[in-house]
Amino acid sequence: MKVFIVEDNSLTRFTIKTAVEKLGHAVVGEAESFSEAVSKLRDMNPDAMLLDVILPDKSGLEVLKEFKKMDHKTKVIVVTALEQDSLDDELMREGASFILRKPFSVDELEKALSKI
C-alpha cells in the first residue's frame, strides 16, 4: 500500500513512517502543513493518507474538506490525541475512513490500515 503522511511533528512523522514501513507499506510522501499536503497530493495518488488533526496553518478537518474537493480516492486515517465525539462525527462526515488515537501501537496502525 502507498501511504502519504501529514504530521507537523518531525519525530512523530518519523515514528509513523518507520511503523508503516515495518508493516511492509511504502511511504510515498510526507507533509507537515495544510499547504504542503494539498500541494503534494495534487501530484500523488496514494492508497492511504495518515492525517494529523492539528497542523500549524489549518486543521486536519480543513485538509479533509479540501481533499474531498480534489475528488481523490485515497482513504484517510485521521491520527489524533483529541477525543471528542462531535469532532469524530465531523471527521467521518468529511471523509475520514478511520480515526487512530495517539499514542498508538504498530498493531493498532496495522489494524487501521487493514480496515481501509
Decide: residue 113, CB within 10 A, 0-12 exposed, 13-18 middle, 19+ buried.
Answer: buried
pLDDT of residue 71: 67
What one-character-per-residue DSSP string does 7-34 give?
Answer: -S-HHHHHHHHHHHHHTT-EEEEEESSH
Q: How many domains does the chain have?
A: 1
Average pLDDT, the chain: 91
Which pLDDT does position 4 carry in this prediction? 96
pTM for the predicted model, two decimal places = 0.92
Q: Which residues in 38-66 are b (16+ Cβ under 10 Å) and which e? A: bebbeeeebbbbbbbbebeebbbbebbeb
- Structural domain range at position 51: 2-115
More confident of the two residues 24 and 85: 24
* pLDDT on residue 69: 78
**pLDDT, tens digit (0-9, with 9 covering 90-100), for 47-104:** 999 999 999 998 888 888 877 777 678 899 999 988 888 889 999 999 999 999 999 9
CATH number of the domain at 108, please.
3.40.50.2300
